[in-house]
Chain A
């Protein structure tokens, strides 16, 4: 055990030193990518360069990234079906908590909307907004608010799929004039990106929320035999 820690320590020290060396010795790039981004900004349909990179110049990365999120959900769904959970009773049924939630929820929704909207000219965007949405869902759950509409499997899945399907659909539709995949016509780029971002926000929010919901809620124990009081501690 100690040997392993020592070895691990040495290894990590070595890696860190090598990395430091690499950082110190690095050459300055000849290629000036920021400049290219800046000069292509007018055609991108958005004003903020990060959003332009994410959803236009390198939108293919974003497309695959959404697929990664979906894969995680698929695995979670599969495992829950293979290892069924008991009906969940998560959350504290506390009136005070509910009252706070009633204040917080609208605020969260507004923040999410703002983040999404802000993405076009300052830091922000679909993922940030989606995460905030998911946080709202998590809070609801922790407050013990029953969310039956989330248990509707088909609706839920449609919501999950919406973002990626829209993204794919738009990417393919714009090809009709004979241009490559994901080539937004400059005139409509802003609109198309907005539509994609909107649907992505919703889907990302739902994805993160379902990942939260799909882990076994409390019955973590192999024998599930411990008394209720223990669990609440």
Chain B
């Protein structure tokens, strides 16, 4: 069987490393990555190779068939997310190893939390069982809350508390939805639900609960209030991980469920409503980002805005032509991946700039372009992708979404895509304007270690390159999906 070992290793390995890093002395915690990262990369690539050669697979844990046991689904979407996670988390880990050196010893608990977070995410990407997803969400969510709290300053604790409350409420809403679905259809497996689900009151209420719960976890406007303090206030590598990957997990579940339940069950009105909320997020998030004075808060609000684009998926695939739906699928996933890469790069380079000037204020970046061109360059490359300007992943995604919007005749989403791009240009260039200004000279800019700059640059460059070489990733992502085959 293909991926017999590599599939379970994707979550077993990080779990084991998480425990091991608790047992070793703090100084050794970061060093575990030299074991873990290559192994995880190898497992991810092996899964990809399996997908490319043998196509989508179902992995039966305990060798039990689906409604009885828990199955894992190894299709293009899951593998794509796994590879994205491996790439971003690996780079964030390399960054954190250097970044956390100067932090108090408590921050070495970042490492066990990172591994648990990773295990939770890989578990979610692979899950085919809606209750298993709940447990996976909790592993990931609690680890993420812990990472936010890691600084232990009052602000960090408040942000973590707020995040935790949102996450818990979201989980319970999701769980209740799962309970209703189980009551109605007697199965927890997505494949089973796909067969059995019909349009009735129970399904609709369950779907509404699940959507609300997941929206809260994804921080879609107007349920986003917890995100900026949590993402903007955390340690830099944590911000990058949370913004790039963690919020994607709940969106991913929603996307999968939406397609699993199928067009008979998913109401068009809800789809349009999700799109409208997405549009609200794009505008509100962009506007708020532009108004921020702290660099990382700006980047955090940018996440609020960018999440909005992902939700255009729902109106564009619901009751539209197969071609429009396929383009929306491609575009949304491209957006998701490009945002993961670009946002991680943006947070990391923002962290580098903050290290360099020793202040989180944007206004203190005056003239920094002279001293830290490389950090700024990474920031710029990532910004290009977020603005959706070519050549970048963000642009390719926008192109596909525009296409889909025109084909499906929903021209109003075009406006969202255009204005959203201009708004993001406004807040990205706000930073640039400051950095190019020749104001009172700063003569004491700290030089952060080269690794930090290189990691940010690699992420930013991948956000650009993924747009140019999108053909193959999109081909893989389509494997085994309802939309890809149609």
A and B touch in the complex (CB under 8 A): yes
The answer, among A23, A31, A75, A168, for a CB contact under 8 Å with B145, is A75
A181 and B62 within 8 A (CB): yes
B23 adjacent to chain A (CB < 8 Å): yes
A75 and B113 within 8 A (CB): yes
Looking across the interface, which residue of chain A has its beta carbon closest to that of B111? A74
Q: Which of B5, B68, B192 is the most central at the interface, judged by chain A CB atoms within 10 Å of its CB?
A: B68
Quick one: CB contact mask for A62-77 with B, threshold 8 Å, 1 for yes? Answer: 0111011011101101
A183 and B185 within 8 A (CB): no
Given contacts A18-B208, A67-B139, A165-B16, contact A57 B64 (CB under 8 A): yes
Given contacts A71-B113, A180-B59, contact A172 B150 (CB under 8 A): no
Given contacts A26-B180, A64-B123, contact A78 B146 (CB under 8 A): yes
Point out the residues of chain B lying under 8 angstroms from A154, CB to CB: 23
B205 and A21 within 8 A (CB): yes
The answer, among A71, A82, A158, A184, for a CB contact under 8 Å with B62, is A184
The answer, among B22, B120, B200, for a CB contact under 8 Å with A27, is B200
B38 adjacent to chain A (CB < 8 Å): no
CB distance from A70 to the nearest CB of B (A): 7
B200 and A25 within 8 A (CB): yes
Q: Within the assembled complex, what's the spacing in Å between the Cα atoms of A63 and B127?
A: 14
B186 adjacent to chain A (CB < 8 Å): yes
B112 adjacent to chain A (CB < 8 Å): yes
CB distance from A121 to the nearest CB of B (A): 20
The answer, among A33, A67, A74, for a CB contact under 8 Å with B68, is A33
A126 adjacent to chain B (CB < 8 Å): no
A180 and B61 within 8 A (CB): yes
Quick one: CB contact mask for A147-185 with B, threshold 8 Å, 1 for yes? Answer: 000000010011011001100100110010011111110
Q: Within the assembled complex, what's the spacing in Å between the Cα atoms of A157 and B204?
A: 45
B486 adjacent to chain A (CB < 8 Å): no
Given contacts A26-B202, A74-B113, A171-B8, contact A183 B63 (CB under 8 A): yes
Looking across the interface, which residue of chain B has its beta carbon closest to that of A184? B62
Looking across the interface, which residue of chain A has its beta carbon closest to that of B153? A82
Q: Which of A63, A65, A71 is the most central at the interface, judged by chain B CB atoms within 10 Å of its CB?
A: A71
Q: Within the assembled complex, what's the spacing in Å between the Cα atoms of A58 and B60?
A: 11
Looking across the interface, which residue of chain A has its beta carbon closest to that of B152? A82
Quick one: CB contact mask for B47-62 with A, threshold 8 Å, 1 for yes? Answer: 0000000000001111
Looking across the interface, which residue of chain B has its beta carbon closest to that of A15? B209
Chain B contact residues (Cβ within 8 angstroms of A): what range? 35 or more
Which residues of A49-104 have CB atoms within 8 Å of chain B's CB atoms? 56-61, 63-65, 67-68, 70-72, 74-75, 77-79, 81-83
Given contacts A68-B142, A83-B152, A165-B19, contact A33 B186 (CB under 8 A): yes
Given contacts A67-B18, A164-B15, contact A37 B68 (CB under 8 A): yes
The answer, among B8, B19, B104, B206, for a CB contact under 8 Å with A181, is B8
Interface segment out of the listed B90-98, B128-136, B372-380, B400-408: B128-136
Given contacts A78-B150, A172-B8, A183-B62, contact A30 B196 (CB under 8 A): yes
B146 and A74 within 8 A (CB): yes
The answer, among B5, B104, B145, for a CB contact under 8 Å with A175, is B5
B183 adjacent to chain A (CB < 8 Å): yes
- Main secondary structure on A side of the interface with B: helix
B184 adjacent to chain A (CB < 8 Å): yes
B69 adjacent to chain A (CB < 8 Å): yes
State how many residues of chain A have any CB contact under 8 Å with chain B: 57
Point out the residues of chain A lying under 8 angstroms from B18, CB to CB: 67, 70, 74
CB distance from B181 to the nearest CB of A (A): 10
A27 and B198 within 8 A (CB): yes
- 7 smallest CB-CB distances across A and B, nearest first, come from A29-B186, A78-B109, A82-B152, A75-B146, A181-B8, A22-B205, A82-B106
Report B's interface with A, CB cutoff 8 A: 1, 4-5, 7-8, 12, 15-16, 18-19, 22-23, 59-64, 67-70, 104-106, 109, 112-113, 116, 119-120, 123, 131-132, 135-136, 138-139, 142-143, 145-146, 149-152, 176, 180, 183-187, 192, 196, 198, 200-202, 204-206, 208
Report A's interface with B, CB cutoff 8 A: 18-19, 21-27, 29-33, 36-37, 40, 56-61, 63-65, 67-68, 70-72, 74-75, 77-79, 81-83, 154, 157-158, 160-161, 164-165, 168, 171-172, 175, 178-184
A-B contact pairs, 28 of them (CB 8 A): A23-B183, A26-B200, A26-B202, A30-B185, A37-B68, A56-B62, A57-B62, A59-B61, A60-B70, A63-B15, A67-B119, A68-B135, A70-B18, A70-B19, A72-B142, A74-B109, A74-B116, A75-B109, A78-B113, A78-B152, A79-B106, A157-B23, A160-B22, A161-B22, A171-B8, A180-B59, A181-B8, A181-B61
Besides the known contacts A57-B62, A74-B18, A75-B145, 18 further A-B residue pairs in the complex with CB atoms under 8 A apart: A21-B205, A22-B180, A22-B202, A25-B201, A26-B184, A64-B120, A64-B123, A64-B132, A64-B138, A65-B135, A68-B138, A71-B143, A78-B109, A161-B19, A168-B16, A175-B8, A181-B62, A183-B61
